[in-house]
Amino acid sequence: MENQNQICLVTRRHFFQQAGFGIGAVALSSLLNEKLFAQSPQTHFAPKAKRIIYLFMAGAPSQLDMFDYKPALIKHDGQDCPAEYLKGERFAFTKGVPKLQGTPFKFAQHGQSGNTLSEVLPHLSKHADDLTIIRSMRTTQFNHAPAQIFMNTGHQIAGRPSFGAWMTYGLGSENQDLPGFVVLISGQSNPDGGKTCWGSGFLPTVHQGVEFRSKGDPVLYVSNPAGISSEVRRNSLDALKDLNSLKLAEVNDPEIKTRIAAYEMAYRMQTSVPELNDLSKEPASVHEAYGTQPGQTSFANNCLLARRLVERGVRFVQLYHWGWDMHGNGVGNDIVAKLPRMCREIDRPIAALLTDLKQRGLLDETIVIWGGEFGRTPVNEARGGSKLIGRDHHPRAFTMWVAGGGFKPGITHGTTDELGYNATENLVEVHDLHATVLHAMGLDHTKLTYKFQGRDFRLTDVHGNVVKKILA
């Protein structure tokens, strides 16, 4: 009995330290008490936005062929890369002294802002005045899995909570019938970083991303098994809740509350998710704008589903579209052939999403983020003597863009050198981007913390500065 009491004491202390104090308390409680949904988001100051759509281009798109125009790189195309760039440099695959590689695509300025975009993005170019383009992004990682994990969790090693998990921990959810964090996947494969990219890490598991599917059951294992009626399922859940509540009273483990909440959410999702996922109810004009085909797995379908999710109050929606890893080491995997095809898959849907959000009055309170895990080199990889155009992994300079709530529209922030090798002005690190987005959501990144293994952790770790120049 004495050992049992000691266990309860330790677990109770753990519970109050981890979930009873701080802004995470309301987030967790909201999943257990329906009356707390969407009542009072716990921000540190007035937010500019309420929700986020993060378009993650897994594989790392080439900024030099899409957003960062370099005439000098075209001028010196085919020449040896200057020695000062190569001294002490590590590439993932490039060997020897590589040749400079200019873009094969044309660029132009668009809109009143004059933001420069490539011809491979004709639809997005029409939204040039809505975009905050950041050309000076940098990361510490240059291999896909650790770079994707770093971009999504603030740390390159698996085990930390993801961006979306931190967001729901801090702000909770606005919809009691849907998860606060939803993940949608398209493209040739899953992200290299795996489910860690949307995991909850050491946060309560209720904050992890829930993967929705465009085909088949929208969410795995939510539908009733064959022969099980809704009444039987409800009775089963009630019995489980009673058993879990008895165990909770005995050991005070917060994960038991998470389990109860998960069962209840799954039951409600049996009604809310099928209606949400039924894209056929959208008018023909919407399908024409997005290029959607109901029932299929596609980035276009996921963009439309993202709008429907934020429209219903989902806090964080993340789309992963894999296929941007273009090394030029084989036919069809080069910049000339594959980049335009990949851009055709995303260009029209993203433009439609921005238009749709704006027309519905949602863009002002929704942050749309676009980008990959790192950039691409201004040299041709030429792996194995390949004559195709391919670019290696590059952490020193890449481009991301943001649109919507709280960000200055129609600007370009940061610059790279004349060859696009290094970010040289107004550098933005990964933690800086995280801190800035949290700020727009009304959260101070230094105060959004969670105690684990004896110290306070945060998304930005011990780093991060808010980039005030890009905030409205």
- Residue 3 CB neighbours (<10 A): 7
| pTM for this entry | 0.87
CA gap 434, 443 in Å, rounded: 11
pLDDT at 245: 87
pLDDT at 250: 85
Q: Name residue 366's beta-bridge partners.
A: 51
Structure-token match 């716990």, residue found: 42
Q: Name residue 369's beta-bridge partners.
A: 54, 402
pLDDT at 275: 83
Element housing 248 (H / E)? helix 230-251
Cβ partners under 8 Å of residue 55, min gap 6: 303, 319, 321, 346, 350, 368, 369, 370, 371
CA gap 25, 19 in Å, rounded: 5
Residue 209 burial by CB count (10 A; 0-12/13-18/19+): exposed, middle or buried? buried
pLDDT at 221: 64
pLDDT at 132: 98
Query: What are the tokens at 428?
Result: 């933005």
CA gap 290, 300 in Å, rounded: 6
Terminus-to-terminus CA distance in the chain, angstroms? 60
Q: Name residue 12's beta-bridge partners.
A: none
pLDDT at 34: 38
Residue 385 burial by CB count (10 A; 0-12/13-18/19+): exposed, middle or buried? exposed
Which amino acid is it at 16?
F
Query: What are the tokens at 191?
Result: 């992200």
- Pairing relation of β-strands 131-138 and 428-429? parallel
Element housing 310 (H / E)? helix 299-311
Query: What are the tokens at 168?
Result: 């729901």
- Residue 352 CB neighbours (<10 A): 22
Stretches where the chain sits below pLDDT 70 are 1-41, 214-216, 220-222, 267, 271
CA gap 412, 423 in Å, rounded: 13
Cβ partners under 8 Å of residue 70, min gap 6: 64, 102, 103, 378, 416, 418, 419, 420
- Provide the phi-psi class of 410: left if phi over 0, else alpha when psi is between -120 and 50, else beta: left
Determine the longest span between alpha carbons in the chain, in angstroms: 80
Query: What are the tokens at 219?
Result: 């969410």
- Pairing relation of β-strands 51-56 and 366-371? parallel
Q: What are phi and psi for residue 136, nearest 5 degrees?
A: -110, 30
